[in-house]
């Protein structure tokens, strides 16, 4: 562990705030935060969190840096992001391992998380030459109209524990290409990943003589988070986290008429039709429900299966779950690591108690695994007679609910009958069923797949969800537009002043 931490410049005690290569701030008023390995419950290292005083210093740097960064030509900003992608390639293994160590996802998923960072950097480099606005024809003679996109300002990035590095990069790579500066507040369970990323960013920033573009503030939600939400110097808050916290973020930022990107909880379902390829769907469900120990926003939580094949699918899932190797996420051959902290274990078993009261029947799993460590659990499948109130909640743990349906309309009604709307899928070999699922009256989620599971999105499309998931879009496609301000321009190159709509005024 020491060699890994050394490689990533993690000290036993780390400053929690940084504004660039020379800008680490060890706050004398800052409270300590200890980061624990969820696989063993042992401390890894600690961080001196930022206080309100440091917050002010960092915000001033970010605001100052924006004044010049916004004037750097976008392709040159893209060159900085390209270098970020290069250093991430170089450090993919240690950074991915730190993600596993601190968050608990297995090593291949930790490496995959860093790959996502690399991919979004590649995307943002190309984007830096494609920040297109439209032109259109004016109704007035001798006039030209077009839209252009200007940098927005400081982006506040508040991230969840489960993707300790990738979610930052989805925002940071795009925001940097768009000419914004940014302040990152990571989740308190995974501060070391953020410190490690900041060290890598600093190397790139140093090469480009940049200070104040990429800033870090490790601190509590009540001190640092609240300040960001209420700060009019931060025009955009990109928030990833739970629905309840997202609601507070939305209300607070809306009160000052700021902008938000909300990436909140999901409750993702897969409809399995009677003609589905059951071998394929079994593999997809296994990865979706057990991967990251059910702690992805896109984790598969609900299976809505045609009653004619429900018994067959249940048997296949039981067999597949029996093969899941559980243990230290850094060990070879392990498929599932621990939950992030003991509270998550408590929450999982409280949820299981409630579903049992609601008529749920455990098909497999349902136990803690204390011999492996305090945060280990069995992945669990629960057969539900109907979609009860507990099923409508997101429990951030490996619980999978199985429900049966008779008609496709019924399946879609069950699927859409939850408050969240992030990711969804249908496994089918029937074109009519798949088109129905993707139609306007089909899945109401932000992402809808056919014969592809709910989790493991690529960066190319917009990522995000509807309803209580918050409506935000990040990552690829045209998600960049939220990170910029749109300006509509009309230019009159005639010597007259015709008014729009043919209005005559005093002539
Ligand atoms: P959380 O809501 O507990 O915390 C999210 C972030 O909010 C953390 O950084 C936390 O420190 C911060 N925070 C806490 N109090 C705050 C305050 N008063 N003001 C501002 N920020 C504050 O979520 P979590 O447990 O870290 O993550 C799990 C949740 O995140 C799940 O619901 C999951 O579905 C969701 N998530 C969603 C997506 C998505 O893209 N839709 C991606 C990852 C995770």
Q: Which residue has the tokens 């996420």?
A: 329
Query: Which of the residues are catalytic?
Result: 263, 297
Q: Which residue has the tokens 């499309």?
A: 461
Q: 492 in a domain, yes or no?
A: no
Whether 264 shows a pLDDT value over 80: the answer reads yes
Residue 476 and residue 365 in one domain: no
Reading phi first (left if > 0) and then psi (alpha if -120 to 50, else beta), residue 46 is in: beta
Q: Please tell me the predicted confidence (pLDDT) of residue 215.
A: 98
Instruction: Report how far apart, in Å, the C-alpha atoms of 388 and of each of 79, 264, 393, 415 are.
Output: 51, 21, 9, 12
Residue 114 and residue 187 in one domain: yes
Identify the band that residue 507 occupies on the pLDDT scale cut at 50, 70 and 90.
confident
Indicate if ligand 1 lies below 6 Å from the C-beta of 422: yes
Identify the band that residue 445 occupies on the pLDDT scale cut at 50, 70 and 90.
very high
Indicate if ligand 1 lies below 6 Å from the C-beta of 262: no
pLDDT in tens, 152-189: 999 999 999 999 999 999 999 999 999 999 999 999 99
pTM > 0.85: yes or no: yes
Share of the chain above pLDDT 90, in %: 99
pLDDT in tens, 299-357: 999 999 999 999 999 999 999 999 999 999 999 999 999 999 999 999 999 999 999 99
Mean pLDDT of 247-271: 98
Indicate if ligand 1 lies below 6 Å from the C-beta of 225: yes
CB 46 within 8 A of CB 32: yes
Give the CA angle between residues 459, 457, 179 to the nearest 5°: 25
The beta strands (E) that lie in 164-229 are given as 181-185, 214-217
Q: 493 in a domain, yes or no?
A: no
**Distance in angstroms (rounded) separating the CA atoms of residues 110 and 418:** 30
Gap from CA of 104 to ligand 1 centroid (Å): 17
Share of the chain above pLDDT 70, in %: 100
Identify the band that residue 506 occupies on the pLDDT scale cut at 50, 70 and 90.
confident
Gap from CA of 231 to ligand 1 centroid (Å): 19
Residue 423 CB-half CA count within 13 A: 24
Q: 147 in a domain, yes or no?
A: yes
Gap from CA of 102 to ligand 1 centroid (Å): 17
Q: Which residues form the domain of 415?
A: 268-460
Q: Please tell me the predicted confidence (pLDDT) of residue 1.
A: 87
Nearest CA owner, ligand 1 atom 26? 160
Q: 465 in a domain, yes or no?
A: no
Indicate if ligand 1 lies below 6 Å from the C-beta of 159: yes
Element of type H or E holding 271: strand 268-272
pLDDT in tens, 144-157: 999 999 999 999 99
Widest Cα–Cα separation across the chain: 88
Q: How many domains, the chain?
A: 2
Q: 502 in a domain, yes or no?
A: no
Gap from CA of 229 to ligand 1 centroid (Å): 14
Whether 39 shows a pLDDT value over 80: the answer reads yes
pLDDT in tens, 344-364: 999 999 999 999 999 999 999
Q: 503 in a domain, yes or no?
A: no
Whole-number mean pLDDT of the chain?
97
Q: 497 in a domain, yes or no?
A: no
Indicate if ligand 1 lies below 6 Å from the C-beta of 447: no
Whether 42 shows a pLDDT value over 90: the answer reads yes
- The best mutation among 104, 241, 341, 423 to test binding of ligand 1, ranked by most ligand atoms within 8 Å of the C-beta, falls on 241
Residue 197 and residue 318 in one domain: no
Structure tokens of 171? 């925002």
Indicate if ligand 1 lies below 6 Å from the C-beta of 396: yes
Q: 422 in a domain, yes or no?
A: yes
Residue 245 and residue 310 in one domain: no
CATH number at residue 180: 3.40.605.10
Residue 295 and residue 160 in one domain: no
Residue 29 and residue 86 in one domain: yes
Residue 237 and residue 299 in one domain: no
CB 348 within 8 A of CB 395: yes
**Distance in angstroms (rounded) separating the CA atoms of residues 51 and 29:** 6
CATH number at residue 368: 3.40.309.10
| Residue where a domain terminates, one of 442, 460, 478 | 460
- The best mutation among 33, 55, 105, 160 to test binding of ligand 1, ranked by most ligand atoms within 8 Å of the C-beta, falls on 160
Residue 299 and residue 434 in one domain: yes
Mean pLDDT of 110-126: 98
Q: Please tell me the predicted confidence (pLDDT) of residue 387.
A: 97
Residue 260 and residue 282 in one domain: no
The single-letter DSSP state of residue 421 is: E
HEC assignment per residue over 435-464: HHHHCCCCCCCCEEEECCCCCCCCCCCEEC
Indicate if ligand 1 lies below 6 Å from the C-beta of 171: no
Element of type H or E holding 133: none
Indicate if ligand 1 lies below 6 Å from the C-beta of 235: no
Identify the band that residue 195 occupies on the pLDDT scale cut at 50, 70 and 90.
very high
Structure tokens of 137? 């024809």
188 CA closest ligand 1 atom index = 11
For 327-358, letters b (16+ CB in 10 Å) and e give bbbbeeebbbbbbbbeebbeebbebbebbeeb
Whether 22 shows a pLDDT value over 90: the answer reads no
Residue 253 and residue 275 in one domain: no
Nearest CA owner, ligand 1 atom 43? 297
**Distance in angstroms (rounded) separating the CA atoms of residues 16 and 6:** 17
Gap from CA of 103 to ligand 1 centroid (Å): 14
Residue 253 and residue 276 in one domain: no
Q: Please tell me the predicted confidence (pLDDT) of residue 185.
A: 98
Residue 292 and residue 260 in one domain: no
């Amino acid at each position: 562990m020491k060699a890994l931490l050394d490689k990533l410049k993690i000290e036993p005690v780390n400053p929690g705030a940084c504004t660039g290569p020379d800008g680490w701030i060890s706050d004398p008023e800052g409270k300590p935060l200890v980061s624990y390995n969820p696989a063993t419950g042992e401390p890894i290292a600690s961080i001196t969190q930022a206080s309100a005083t440091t917050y002010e210093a960092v915000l001033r740097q970010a605001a100052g840096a924006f004044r010049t960064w916004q004037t750097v030509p976008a392709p040159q900003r893209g060159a900085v992001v390209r270098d970020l992608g290069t250093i991430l390639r170089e450090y993919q293994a240690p950074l991915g391992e730190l993600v596993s160590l601190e968050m608990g996802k297995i090593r291949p998923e930790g490496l995959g998380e860093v790959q996502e960072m690399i991919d979004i950097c590649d995307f943002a480099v190309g984007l830096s030459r494609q920040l297109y606005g439209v032109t259109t024809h004016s109704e007035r003679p001798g006039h030209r109209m077009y839209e252009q996109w200007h940098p927005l300002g400081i982006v506040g990035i508040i991230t969840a524990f489960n993707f300790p590095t990738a979610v930052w990069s989805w925002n940071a790579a795009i925001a940097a290409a768009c000419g914004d500066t940014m302040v990152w507040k990571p989740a308190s369970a995974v501060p070391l990943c953020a410190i490690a990323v900041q060290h890598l960013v600093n190397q790139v920033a140093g090469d480009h003589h940049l200070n104040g573009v990429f800033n870090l503030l490790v601190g509590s939600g009540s001190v640092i988070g609240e300040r960001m939400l209420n700060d009019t110097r931060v025009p955009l808050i990109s928030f990833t986290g739970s629905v309840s916290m997202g609601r507070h973020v939305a209300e607070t930022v809306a009160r000052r008429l700021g902008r938000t990107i909300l990436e909140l909880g999901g409750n993702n379902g897969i409809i399995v039709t009677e003609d589905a390829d059951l071998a394929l769907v079994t593999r997809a469900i296994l990865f979706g429900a057990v991967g990251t120990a059910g702690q992805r926003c896109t984790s598969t939580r609900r299976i809505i299966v045609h009653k004619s094949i429900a018994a067959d699918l249940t048997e296949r899932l039981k067999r597949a779950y029996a093969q899941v190797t559980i243990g230290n996420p850094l060990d070879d051959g392990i498929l599932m690591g621990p939950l992030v902290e003991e509270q998550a274990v408590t929450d999982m078993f409280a949820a299981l108690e409630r579903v049992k009261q609601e008529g749920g029947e455990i098909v497999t799993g349902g136990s803690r695994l204390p011999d492996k460590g305090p945060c280990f659990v069995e992945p669990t499948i629960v057969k539900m007679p109907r979609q009860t109130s507990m099923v409508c909640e997101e429990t951030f743990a490996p619980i999978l609910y199985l429900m049966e349906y008779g008609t496709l309309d019924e399946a879609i009604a069950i699927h859409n009958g939850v408050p969240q709307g992030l990711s969804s899928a249908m496994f089918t070999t029937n074109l009519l069923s798949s088109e129905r699922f993707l139609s306007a009256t089909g899945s109401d989620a932000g992402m809808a797949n056919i014969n592809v599971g709910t989790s493991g999105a690529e960066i190319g499309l917009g990522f995000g969800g509807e309803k209580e998931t918050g409506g935000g879009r990040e990552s690829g496609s045209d998600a960049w537009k939220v990170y910029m301000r749109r300006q509509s321009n009309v230019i009159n190159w005639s010597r007259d002043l015709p008014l729009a709509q043919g209005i005559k005024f005093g002539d």
